[in-house]
């Protein structure tokens, strides 16, 4: 212990000077020792805090990374030798062989007669590995579900050593129709270095109850971040051994993802489409999120009148090519003079209801469709709000279907034209919306940034003044809503 210095006699000082010096040196050494201990403890605590921070922030998105593009995505498409022959034309509508990577998985080699001259426009066909060693116990099911599930494993094995960056693996059926640009932009909201399982559920409550309210349905497609897919692939075979009792391939993927502690990140742009009949009611009430996929198109009526299913989808893609992020996006405006409610589902339809409807009522899906099964009960319960349609077609909203779409090279304005669907109805030529024969919609290409994609806002529309049309043509402009603008009928 260091003692304070006190004045002493010369005799005492001379005899004890060495002792005092020694004590002072000891004090200095003790101070240095305490300082070193303090610095060591502080460094240890700082390192611990840094480690904890790194542990909890390891999943934070790297904001400096470039946006996800279609070149960063690898597709795994589940098919069969029989179905691929009929469905390859649909895949050709959205597949870009110059930019996309992936494989179509079939159970056996295709016959040489199916080697078409246009195969270069499609993804390569891969023969799935043998899955006979895996048990399948769902009574009346199809054990091809195991093979379809293993598309995840086989796709990752094929591409995880690629020299080109893989950020996402996307899986779907051969009748899943993807909108590639919208898929890439949707995935750009997520950090591929974190574990993500992205997709959506069925439109039918009963389907979700059977297979999982938090399961991404395979027909609508789902995405796995590359970091998750690589780990999942290493453990996949051992995992699916535990689930012989499940029905589909998507159920097995869901179960194995859950075992890794990962849940579904739901994106409503993925569409399972477990409905039949006329899908107009669902398509015209689409989410403000971009359309990512469509499924079961062969099980619903052609989405455009006087068309085959394939030609109708091909016609839709004429609009997709010009403005993919706007497709099906709904804008609502009002004709105050007639109290009409006008709904623009861009690239598809414009509907005029001859009465005033609040926006919340417009957004309810019109029940133009019917459920996947006819058994009633929960099989007829939808997972979204609906509104009944009038039994008399002449009392329903007047529907105008997209005829053609074009873009001006001068200023980038996109013009889409919609013609009235014919109904044999009598009407008042002055006040009825049936007096309108054609609607022209003007817009600019929708190009939201990542922030807007995360918090989308519906766009507004205006009825434009027209001249020399005899009152038979309506023109509408689409635009961003002003900051405090409300969508309602103004007095």
What is the per-residue pLDDT for 25?
A: 65
∠ Cα 459 460 462 (to 5°): 150
Is pLDDT above 80 for 223? Answer: yes
**Average of pLDDT values for 412-424?**
96
Measured in residues, the chain has a length of: 491
209-214: long-range pairs with CB below 8 Å, 24+: 209/378, 211/247, 211/248, 211/250, 211/251, 211/254, 212/251, 212/254, 214/254, 214/263, 214/264, 214/266
- Of the segments 1-15, 438-452, 463-477, which one has the largest average pLDDT value? 438-452
What is the per-residue pLDDT for 50?
A: 52
pLDDT in tens, 111-162: 876 667 788 899 999 999 999 999 999 999 999 999 999 999 999 999 998 8
**pLDDT above 70 covers what percent of the chain?**
87
The CA–CA distances, whole Å, from 158 to 84, 122, 155, 310, 325 equal 21, 17, 5, 31, 31
Give the domain 315-479 fold: Cation-dependent Mannose-6-phosphate Receptor; Chain A (2.70.130)
**Closest to 292 measured CA to CA, from 415, 168, 121, 390:** 168
pLDDT in tens, 396-414: 999 999 999 999 988 999 9
The CA–CA distances, whole Å, from 285 to 142, 387, 476 equal 34, 11, 19
What is the per-residue pLDDT for 163?
A: 87
What is the per-residue pLDDT for 275?
A: 95
Is pLDDT above 80 for 20? Answer: no
Is pLDDT above 60 for 324? Answer: yes
Burial class (CB in 10 A: 0-12, 13-18, 19+), 460: middle
**Average of pLDDT values for 460-475?**
84
Is pLDDT above 70 for 218? Answer: yes
Give the domain 70-109+118-272 fold: Spore Coat Polysaccharide Biosynthesis Protein SpsA; Chain A (3.90.550)
The phi and psi torsions of 178 (rounded to 5 degrees) equal -95, 150
Is pLDDT above 80 for 307? Answer: yes
Is pLDDT above 50 for 54? Answer: no
**Average of pLDDT values for 329-354?**
97
What is the per-residue pLDDT for 111?
A: 87
Interacting residues of 118 by C-beta distance below 8 A, sequence separation 6+: 92
The region of weakest confidence among 65-69, 345-349, 404-408 is 65-69
Banded model confidence at residue 93, pLDDT cuts 50, 70, 90 = very high
What is the per-residue pLDDT for 52?
A: 37
**Average of pLDDT values for 4-32?**
57
> How far is 461 from 343, CA to CA, in rounded Å?
9
What is the per-residue pLDDT for 208?
A: 95
**Average of pLDDT values for 272-298?**
96
CA 399 to chain CA centroid, Å, is 28
**Closest to 442 measured CA to CA, from 468, 408, 410:** 408
Q: Where in the chain is the domain with CATH 2.70.130.10?
A: 315-479
The region of weakest confidence among 20-29, 172-181, 214-223, 454-463 is 20-29
Are 215 and 326 contacting, i.e. CB atoms less than 8 angstroms apart?
no
Which sign, positive or negative, has the C-alpha torsion 313, 318, 323, 328? negative
To which residue do tokens 């599930």 refer? 149
In the 3-class helix/strand/coil scheme, how is the chain assigned residue by residue?
CCCCCCCCCHHHHHHHHHHHHHHHHHHHHHHHHHHHHHHHHHHHHHHHHHHHHHHHHCCCCCCCCCCCCHHHEEEEEECCHHHHHHHHHHHHHHCCCCCCEEEEEECCCCCHHHCCCCHHHCCCEEECCCCCCCCCCCCCCCCHHHHHHCHHHHHHHHHCCCCCCCCEEEEEECCCEECHHHHHHHHCCCCCCCCCEEECCCCEHHHHHHHCCCCCCCCCCEEEEHHHHHHHHHHHHHHHCCCCCCCCHHHHHHHHHHHCCCCEEECCCCCCCCEEECCHHHHCCCCCCCCCEECCHHHECCCCCCCCHHHHHHHHHHHHCCCHHHCCCEEEEEECCCCEEEEEECCCEEEEECCCCCHHHHCCEECCEEECCCCCHHHHCECCCEECCCCCHHHCCEEEEEEEEEECCCCCCEEEEEEECCCCCCCCCCCCHHHCCEEEEEECCCCCCHHHHHCCCCCEEEEECCCCCCCCEEEEEEECCCCCCCCCCCC
Is pLDDT above 50 for 53? Answer: no
What is the per-residue pLDDT for 467?
A: 58
For all residues of the chain together, what is the average pLDDT? 90
**pLDDT above 90 covers what percent of the chain?**
79
In this predicted model, which residue has the larger pLDDT, 97 or 17? Answer: 97
Are 489 and 339 contacting, i.e. CB atoms less than 8 angstroms apart?
yes
Interacting residues of 184 by C-beta distance below 8 A, sequence separation 6+: 67, 68, 69, 70, 72, 73
Is pLDDT above 50 for 425? Answer: yes
Q: Where in the chain is the domain with CATH 3.90.550.50?
A: 70-109+118-272
Is pLDDT above 50 for 206? Answer: yes
Is pLDDT above 80 for 393? Answer: yes
Is pLDDT above 60 for 44? Answer: no
């Amino acid at each position: 212990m260091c003692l304070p210095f006190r004045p002493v006699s010369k005799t005492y000082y001379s005899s004890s000077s060495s002792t005092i010096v020694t004590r002072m040196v000891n004090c200095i050494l003790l101070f240095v020792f305490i300082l070193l201990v303090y610095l060591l403890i502080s460094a240890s605590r700082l390192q611990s805090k840094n480690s904890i921070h790194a542990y909890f922030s390891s999943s934070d998105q790297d904001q400096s990374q470039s946006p996800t593009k279609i070149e960063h995505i690898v597709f795994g498409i589940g098919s069969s030798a029989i179905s691929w022959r009929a469905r390859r034309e649909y895949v050709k509508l959205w597949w870009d062989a110059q930019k996309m990577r992936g494989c179509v998985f079939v159970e056996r080699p295709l016959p040489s007669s199916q080697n078409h001259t246009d195969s270069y426009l499609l993804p390569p066909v891969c023969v799935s590995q043998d899955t006979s060693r895996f048990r399948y116990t769902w009574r009346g099911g199809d054990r091809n579900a195991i093979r379809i599930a293993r598309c995840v494993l086989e796709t990752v094995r094929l591409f995880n050593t690629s020299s080109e960056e893989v950020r996402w693996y996307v899986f779907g059926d051969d009748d899943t129709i993807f909108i590639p640009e919208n898929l890439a932009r949707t995935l750009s909201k997520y950090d591929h270095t974190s574990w993500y399982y992205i997709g959506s559920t069925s439109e039918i409550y009963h389907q979700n109850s059977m297979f999982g309210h938090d399961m991404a349905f395979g027909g609508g497609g789902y995405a796995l971040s590359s970091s998750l897919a690589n780990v999942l692939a290493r453990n996949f075979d051992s995992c699916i051994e535990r689930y012989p009792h499940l029905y589909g391939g998507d159920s097995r993927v869901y179960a194995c993802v859950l075992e890794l502690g990962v849940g579904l990140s739901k994106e409503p742009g993925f569409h399972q489409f477990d409905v039949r009949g006329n899908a107009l009611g669902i398509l015209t009430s689409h989410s403000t999120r971009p359309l990512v996929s469509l499924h079961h198109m062969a099980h619903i009526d052609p989405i455009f009148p006087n068309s085959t299913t394939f030609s109708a989808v091909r016609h839709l893609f004429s609009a997709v090519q010009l403005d993919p992020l706007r497709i099906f996006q709904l804008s609502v405006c009002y004709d105050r003079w007639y109290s009409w409610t006008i709904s623009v589902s861009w690239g598809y339809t414009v509907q005029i209801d001859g009465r005033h409807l609040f926006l919340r009522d417009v957004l309810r899906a019109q029940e133009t469709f019917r459920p996947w099964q006819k058994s009633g009960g929960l099989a007829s319960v939808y997972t979204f709000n609906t509104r009944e349609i009038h039994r008399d077609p002449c009392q329903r909203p007047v529907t105008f279907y997209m005829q053609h779409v074009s873009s001006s090279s001068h200023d980038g304005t996109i013009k889409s034209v919609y013609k009235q669907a014919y109904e044999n109805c009598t009407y008042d030529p002055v006040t009825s919306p049936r007096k309108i024969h054609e609607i022209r919609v003007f817009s600019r290409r929708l190009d939201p940034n990542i922030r807007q994609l995360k918090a989308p806002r519906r766009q507004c529309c205006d009825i434009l003044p027209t001249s020399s049309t005899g009152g038979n043509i309506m023109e509408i402009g689409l635009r961003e809503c002003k900051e405090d603008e409300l969508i309602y009928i103004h007095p």
